[in-house]
Chains A and B, each alone.
Chain A
Amino acid sequence: MRSAGLRVIAAKEFNDHLRSRKFHLIFGIFLVIAVIGLIGGMVTYQEQLEDYNRAQSAVQDTDEFMEKSYYSWKPSMLSAFNEMSSLMTTIGVILGIAMGFDLVTREKESKSLKILLSHPVYRDEVINGKALGGIAAIALAMGVVLVISLAVMLLFGIVPNFEETVRMFLFGALSFLLVFSFFAIALFMSTVAKDSGSAIIYTLIVMIVLSSLLPIFTYGSVYTAAFGQPPDPPESTMVRYGGYGGTYVSSAVSVSVSGEENEEKVDPLIDEAWQKYEEESRAYWERRQAVASAVSLLSPTSNYQTLAYAVTNPDMARMMLSSSQFSVVEMDDEIPQEGFSALFALLGEMAKNIAALVITPALFFGLAWVRFMREDVR
């Protein structure tokens, strides 16, 4: 038989968050910056829309290439959320950490944990209640952000359509997962550390590792240092001058210039070397991309930013995805350009990121749960 503990503890934790000065302060700063960013985004969006309309009318009579060009990307009001996604990875993350780092250590420091556990409640109700209270407070905060965003849009006379509204809610859900990820990390550290000071230090270390250190491993220089240089192109690709008649070679095609005759022919040896280079190069870059993707999956901020792009800036996300998969043309053809089908196709391509963004908080909350259940109360 379960007691009423879970509900009571969750309600108390939720109220504590809402009454907390640090929550007011961080969330207040977040809101101010978000609103300013949104207003800026709305102004930019309106300018882009005007440019787009002008460009559309200008390219109507031009060739097809122009239609595929940058100017064919219809600006979206959701691009205003790009700035907010950057904000989420900084202040949103700090908000999550601030809400979680002392949830258990504060109870230990104030000696209230022993009293709390002397009540007729199960231990798991205590840690679950703390998590639930935090989840509810984060959800409320994200809800407030969405409502204010909507209000700002309406103030600018921009009414989102159904798809844009769905995308906004998805953005809110992703932001919730990001903040909850760091809340869960902080909660875990709160169960591990002896005091709140240590807990926040441990949490910041994990945050730096996940948000800054891991992405470094995806950088070219670090990867090159770890896994070696990319293959060199065949020597023949270098432009050379020399020999009789001023022969020069470029790429896999050799061009001989002798006297007044100009003839162009493919050198089989050069072509073979070039093909080998292409294969090696492709394998190298695919391996490098696979490592970068795998490392990125460990970082909630990387996953969040990738997914946030998919939701708020699908054109950019499509381009990033294409460039990472070495199949620009195929991807462009596979993923629809607009509508829900485009959204779901993109999210489908990013299923790994979605899974990672869900698993991270679940994993750290699981660790916090186990640690708290084994907590030695003396």
Chain B
Amino acid sequence: MIRCEHLTKVYNGVPAVDDLNLAIPAGEIFGLLGPNGAGKSTTILMLIGLIEPTSGACFIDGIEVAKNPIEVKHRIGYMPEDVGFYATLTAEENLDYSAKLYGMDAAVRRKRIPDLLSLVGLDGVEKVVGGYSKGMRQRLGLAKALINEPTVIILDEPTANLDPQGVADYRRILGETAENGTTVLVSSHILSEVNRVCTSAAILAHGKYVAGGTWDDLARTREKGECVIRLETRSPMPEIVHPALLSVEYADGHRSARLVAGADIRDEIAAAAGPAGIRRLEVEAPDLEDVFLSYYHEEAAS
């Protein structure tokens, strides 16, 4: 698991990360959201022990990173956004070097490296990494992040250069990894990807924690507990009346309606509109960008 306590990093008097508190339980796929300069990368660099916090602390599996970086690095798998490898070595040689740095035995390396290359779809690729596309490097980066069988994986913009098949593979691998109890931290500004992959997320702006939780939590908090329900019927529906209903907009000759309620009243609506033949009744997913931007702008304004 990952924990940050009042984590702060100041560069030349300017806080890059400001009093960040986070707790990500084991087995969670957690998204770290924020625009450029929000403090995501600085937070990650502190988590993997590459830079030391100005104040506060971060912990991986209960171990304080700044005090025991080597022990922590043994538990972490990391893939940066601009993942870089040794161009004159093959994927296998790069992974072998990485595995040696983790102190893995030759026998373990011989088994694990082909397995990982197969997992990320790079088995049978003999050319040196210098000839790889960005997507192939990203796949190799994922393999490298998994080489030491980490308990925590930290991925910075992991799908930025992947093709659709690569994205699908990445999602599958991440899901399987989290099922095994590995904690995954994904930093991204591709909101749809975070929404699809992550079980929960935190929004950072100007180095500060703005909001966090599951995506629905974030959306509801943003919309002050309002629930937007989309209803479509085969024939014109009757007027929907309910004490929790805040507003209703009908369209398409009363065959379609957008209802804003103070709570999720889908059961009551189904009962009322049932005679008209319900084609669609669902809570409207909040617009990801709107939610994110509203948090971000609120923070910027404050």
When the two chains form their complex, are residues A378 and B102 in contact, meaning their CB atoms are under 8 A apart?
A: no
Given the known A-B contacts A120-B70, A120-B102, A377-B45, are A111 and B84 also in contact in the complex, defined by CB atoms under 8 Å? yes
Question: What are the residues of chain B within 8 A of A19 when measuring CB–CB?
Answer: 88
When the two chains form their complex, are residues B88 and A12 in contact, meaning their CB atoms are under 8 A apart?
A: no
Does any Cβ of B come within 8 Å of A114's Cβ?
Answer: yes
Q: 1/0 contact trace for B70-109 toward A, CB 8 Å?
A: 1101101010101111111000000001101111000000
Cβ distance A105 to chain B, nearest Cβ, rounded Å: 13
Question: What are the residues of chain B within 8 A of A118 when measuring CB–CB?
Answer: 48-50, 73, 76, 78
- Closest B-chain residue to A115, C-beta based? B84
Partner of A8, one of B76, B84, B101: B101
Report B142-162 residues with CB < 8 Å from chain A CB.
144
Partner of B51, one of A110, A113, A115, A377: A377
Q: How long is the Cα–Cα vector from A206 to B98 in the complex, in angstroms?
A: 35
Q: How long is the Cα–Cα vector from A9 to B98 in the complex, in angstroms?
A: 10
Does any Cβ of A come within 8 Å of B195's Cβ?
Answer: no
Report B88-140 residues with CB < 8 Å from chain A CB.
88, 97-98, 100-103
Interface size class of A (residues with CB under 8 A): 20 to 34
| Residue among A12, A118, A122, A376 facing the most chain B CB atoms (10 A cut-off) | A118
When the two chains form their complex, are residues B103 and A115 in contact, meaning their CB atoms are under 8 A apart?
A: no
Given the known A-B contacts A110-B85, A120-B73, A120-B74, are A115 and B144 also in contact in the complex, defined by CB atoms under 8 Å? yes
Q: 1/0 contact trace for A102-142 toward B, CB 8 Å?
A: 00000000111111111111100000000000000000000
- Closest A-chain residue to B50, C-beta based? A377
Q: How long is the Cα–Cα vector from A110 to B140 in the complex, in angstroms?
A: 14
Q: 1/0 contact trace for B9-48 toward A, CB 8 Å?
A: 0000000000000000000000000000000011001001
Cβ distance A122 to chain B, nearest Cβ, rounded Å: 7
Cβ distance B60 to chain A, nearest Cβ, rounded Å: 12
> How many B residues have CB within 8 A of the partner chain?
28
When the two chains form their complex, are residues B88 and A111 in contact, meaning their CB atoms are under 8 A apart?
A: no
When the two chains form their complex, are residues B102 and A114 in contact, meaning their CB atoms are under 8 A apart?
A: no
| Residue among B74, B80, B84 facing the most chain A CB atoms (10 A cut-off) | B84
Does any Cβ of B come within 8 Å of A161's Cβ?
Answer: no
Q: How long is the Cα–Cα vector from A8 to B97 in the complex, in angstroms?
A: 8
When the two chains form their complex, are residues B50 and A120 in contact, meaning their CB atoms are under 8 A apart?
A: no
Q: How long is the Cα–Cα vector from A4 to B76 in the complex, in angstroms?
A: 17
Question: What are the residues of chain B within 8 A of A9 when measuring CB–CB?
Answer: 101
Q: 1/0 contact trace for A1-13 toward B, CB 8 Å?
A: 1011100110010
Question: What are the residues of chain A within 8 A of B78 when measuring CB–CB?
Answer: 115, 118
Partner of B100, one of A1, A4, A110, A111: A4
Does any Cβ of B come within 8 Å of A164's Cβ?
Answer: no
Q: How long is the Cα–Cα vector from A156 to B86 in the complex, in angstroms?
A: 45
Does any Cβ of B come within 8 Å of A195's Cβ?
Answer: no
Question: What are the residues of chain A within 8 A of B144 when measuring CB–CB?
Answer: 115
Q: How long is the Cα–Cα vector from A16 to B84 in the complex, in angstroms?
A: 17
Cβ distance A15 to chain B, nearest Cβ, rounded Å: 10
Q: How long is the Cα–Cα vector from A78 to B230 in the complex, in angstroms?
A: 95
Question: What are the residues of chain A within 8 A of B101 when measuring CB–CB?
Answer: 3-5, 8-9, 116, 119-121
Q: How long is the Cα–Cα vector from A16 to B100 in the complex, in angstroms?
A: 16
| Residue among A4, A113, A119, A378 facing the most chain B CB atoms (10 A cut-off) | A119
When the two chains form their complex, are residues B102 and A119 in contact, meaning their CB atoms are under 8 A apart?
A: yes
Cβ distance B300 to chain A, nearest Cβ, rounded Å: 23
Q: 1/0 contact trace for B247-282 toward A, CB 8 Å?
A: 000000000000000000000000000000000000
Question: What are the residues of chain B within 8 A of A1 when measuring CB–CB?
Answer: 70
Question: What are the residues of chain A within 8 A of B42 when measuring CB–CB?
Answer: 378
Question: What are the residues of chain B within 8 A of A12 when measuring CB–CB?
Answer: 97
Given the known A-B contacts A120-B70, A378-B45, are A16 and B88 also in contact in the complex, defined by CB atoms under 8 Å? yes
Cβ distance B200 to chain A, nearest Cβ, rounded Å: 24
When the two chains form their complex, are residues B84 and A122 in contact, meaning their CB atoms are under 8 A apart?
A: no
Question: What are the residues of chain A within 8 A of B82 when measuring CB–CB?
Answer: 111
Cβ distance B49 to chain A, nearest Cβ, rounded Å: 8
Cβ distance A106 to chain B, nearest Cβ, rounded Å: 9
- Closest A-chain residue to B72, C-beta based? A120
Question: What are the residues of chain B within 8 A of A114 when measuring CB–CB?
Answer: 50, 80, 84
When the two chains form their complex, are residues A112 and B98 in contact, meaning their CB atoms are under 8 A apart?
A: no
| Residue among A4, A5, A110, A113 facing the most chain B CB atoms (10 A cut-off) | A110
Q: How long is the Cα–Cα vector from A376 to B76 in the complex, in angstroms?
A: 21
When the two chains form their complex, are residues A110 and B87 in contact, meaning their CB atoms are under 8 A apart?
A: yes
- Closest B-chain residue to A119, C-beta based? B101
Q: How long is the Cα–Cα vector from A376 to B26 in the complex, in angstroms?
A: 31
Question: What are the residues of chain B within 8 A of A378 when measuring CB–CB?
Answer: 41-42, 45, 51
| Residue among B74, B87, B101, B144 facing the most chain A CB atoms (10 A cut-off) | B101
When the two chains form their complex, are residues B87 and A120 in contact, meaning their CB atoms are under 8 A apart?
A: no
- Closest B-chain residue to A4, C-beta based? B103
Cβ distance B17 to chain A, nearest Cβ, rounded Å: 12
* Chain A contacts to B: CB under 8 angstroms: 1, 3-5, 8-9, 12, 16, 19, 110-122, 376-378
* Chain B contacts to A: CB under 8 angstroms: 41-42, 45, 48-51, 70-71, 73-74, 76, 78, 80, 82-88, 97-98, 100-103, 144
A-B contact pairs, 14 of them (CB 8 A): A16-B86, A110-B84, A111-B80, A114-B50, A115-B83, A116-B101, A117-B50, A118-B48, A118-B78, A120-B70, A120-B74, A121-B70, A378-B42, A378-B51
Q: 6 new A-B pairs (CB below 8 Å) besides A113-B84, A115-B78, A115-B83?
A: A16-B88, A110-B87, A116-B101, A118-B76, A118-B78, A122-B70
